[in-house]
């Protein structure tokens, strides 16, 4: 077996592996490269990787040696990639013995949430990540929530995580697990659980943030002099639908993971994640129903406002029609017309028009049209 990194990754013989070093990382978003990498080396897309034995990170070891030791039964390797290219993922096929369809799905940035188990026991879990876009960042009518993709492949001796999008960073997950070596010692399944748990925690935070937007829109719509804000309601409705598409398919997958665990403690961990996921699903569902009611109220209020405007316009048109009609009659070229040659004819006609207009105005005011 060729255990050298160039041989396992099908790289040129001139390739030289170096220890992975990264700049300080910000937990808010992932450190996306400024320019896409054209290298076929998967480590070029790696945020971090490590070899863990008994839940503790091993230092001073290269990637090829770490893979060889883990495959031989010493711990496991966890490789985390951010938006890798198809060539970079393909280079890992022989290293981890991955199915081509699993690599294809891992490289899909719009992959739907799903859980699969391959013949060699490898677990493939794809889920959607959620992030809340602050009001000072999103443009007018811009998205309130933003989605990405996170994929976990958990084998016997490796865990491969692939992430697309700027939300759902996994570096805090790695640091949290490294602080709990007794849990990390459970192997790749602990990584799988930690990634799902982190994603669901993000769902909860986003749901709480969205609730503030729902309350704000509700106060505007039902205020005495509030504005309907129909466009903003439609935008939030679209984002809630996207959240439902993100949360709902993951529910069954997490439940299956919990039922498949022989370790009772790991089963409880996954059931706890499932409970949180149910909570998010119920929250999003209630927000969606509430926004539907708010939308109906906003449309009804907008319709009432338009009817009031039309009544005002109709009233003023009726008032203006009186002097228009009288002026039109007296503009005809007839010799014998009432008060045509009287010195008081003009003032009388004007006074009559004003009196009729005032009478109409008073009547419309009483009826609430003006």
* Averaged pLDDT, 130-135: 84
The more confidently predicted of residues 334 and 353 is: 353
The pTM assigned to this predicted structure is 0.73
Find the helix or strand (DSSP H, E) in which 117 lies: strand 114-117
* Averaged pLDDT, 353-365: 83
Q: Which band of pLDDT confidence, cut at 50, 70 and 90, is reported for residue 141?
A: low
Closest CA to 132 of 156, 79, 100, 168: 168
pLDDT of 284 over the 60 cut: yes
Q: What angle do CA 259, 264, 269 make, to 5 degrees?
A: 75
Structure tokens, 143: 């998205």
DSSP codes of every residue in 169-210: -SHHHHHHHHT-HHHHTT-HHHHHHHHHHHHHHHHHHHHHHH
Q: How far apart are CA 235 and CA 239, in angstroms?
A: 6
- Residue 344: per-residue pLDDT: 72
* Averaged pLDDT, 163-185: 93
Q: What residues does each domain of the chain span? A: 5-22+40-301, 306-367
pLDDT of 2 over the 50 cut: no
The more confidently predicted of residues 185 and 347 is: 185
C-beta neighbour count of 146 within 10 angstroms = 19
Q: How far apart are CA 358 and CA 355, in angstroms?
A: 5
142 three-state secondary structure: coil
CATH topology of domain 5-22+40-301: Beta Polymerase; domain 2 (3.30.460)
Q: Tens digit of pLDDT for each residue in 22-66?
A: 333 333 344 444 444 457 888 899 999 999 999 999 988 899 999
pLDDT of 279 over the 50 cut: yes
pLDDT of 72 over the 90 cut: yes
Structure tokens, 48: 């971090």
Q: Which band of pLDDT confidence, cut at 50, 70 and 90, is reported for residue 137?
A: low
98 contacts 153 by C-beta, under 8 angstroms = yes
306-367 in CATH: which number? 1.20.58.340
Kindly give, in sequence order, each residue whose CB lies less than 8 Å from that of residue 314, ignoring residues fewer than 6 positions away.
369
Find the helix or strand (DSSP H, E) in which 115 lies: strand 114-117
* Averaged pLDDT, 98-107: 91
* Averaged pLDDT, 7-22: 39
The more confidently predicted of residues 99 and 19 is: 99
Kindly give, in sequence order, each residue whose CB lies less than 8 Å from that of residue 172, ignoring residues fewer than 6 positions away.
27, 198
124 contacts 117 by C-beta, under 8 angstroms = yes
- Residue 38: per-residue pLDDT: 53
- Residue 22: per-residue pLDDT: 35
Structure tokens, 101: 């369809």
Backbone angles phi, psi at 282, to 5 degrees: -65, -40
- Residue 202: per-residue pLDDT: 94
* Averaged pLDDT, 233-246: 89
Structure tokens, 132: 């809340």
Q: Which band of pLDDT confidence, cut at 50, 70 and 90, is reported for residue 173?
A: very high
- Residue 311: per-residue pLDDT: 76
Domains 5-22+40-301 and 306-367 share a fold: no
* Averaged pLDDT, 107-114: 89
Find the Cα–Cα–Cα–Cα dihedral 267, 272, 277, 279, rounded to 10°: 150
């Amino acid at each position: 077996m060729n255990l050298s990194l160039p041989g396992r990754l099908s790289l040129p013989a001139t390739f030289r592996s170096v220890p992975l070093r990264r700049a300080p990382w910000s937990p808010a978003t992932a450190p996306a490269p400024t320019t896409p990498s054209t290298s076929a080396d998967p480590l070029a897309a790696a945020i971090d990787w490590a070899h863990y034995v008994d839940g503790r990170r091993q230092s001073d070891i290269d990637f090829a040696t770490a893979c060889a030791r883990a495959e031989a039964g010493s711990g496991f390797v966890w490789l985390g990639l951010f938006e890798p290219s198809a060539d970079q993922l393909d280079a890992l096929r022989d290293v981890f013995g991955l199915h081509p369809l699993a690599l294809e799905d891992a490289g899909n940035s719009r992959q739907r949430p799903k859980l699969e188990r391959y013949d060699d026991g490898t677990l493939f879990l794809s889920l959607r990540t959620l992030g809340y876009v602050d009001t000072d960042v999103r443009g007018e009518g811009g998205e309130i929530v933003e989605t990405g993709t996170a994929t976990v492949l958990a084998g016997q001796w490796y865990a491969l995580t692939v992430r697309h999008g700027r939300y759902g960073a996994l570096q805090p997950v790695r640091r949290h697990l490294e602080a709990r070596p007794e849990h990390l010692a459970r192997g790749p399944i602990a990584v799988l659980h930690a990634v799902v748990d982190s994603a669901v925690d993000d769902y909860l935070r986003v749901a709480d943030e969205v609730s503030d937007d729902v309350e704000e829109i509700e106060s505007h719509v039902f205020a005495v002099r509030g504005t309907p804000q129909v466009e903003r309601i439609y935008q939030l409705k679209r984002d809630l639908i996207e959240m439902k598409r993100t949360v709902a398919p993951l529910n069954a997958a997490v439940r299956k993971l919990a039922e498949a665990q022989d370790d009772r403690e790991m089963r409880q961990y996954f059931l706890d994640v499932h409970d949180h996921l149910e909570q998010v699903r119920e929250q999003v569902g209630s927000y969606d129903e509430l926004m539907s009611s708010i939308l109906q109220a906003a449309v009804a209020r907008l319709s009432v406002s338009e009817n009031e405007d039309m009544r005002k316009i109709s009233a003023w048109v009726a008032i203006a029609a009186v002097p228009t009609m009288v002026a039109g009659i007296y503009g005809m070229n007839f010799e014998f017309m009432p008060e045509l040659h009287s010195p008081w004819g003009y003032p009388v006609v004007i006074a009559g028009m004003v009196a009729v207009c005032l009478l109409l105005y008073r009547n419309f005011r009483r009826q609430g049209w003006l």
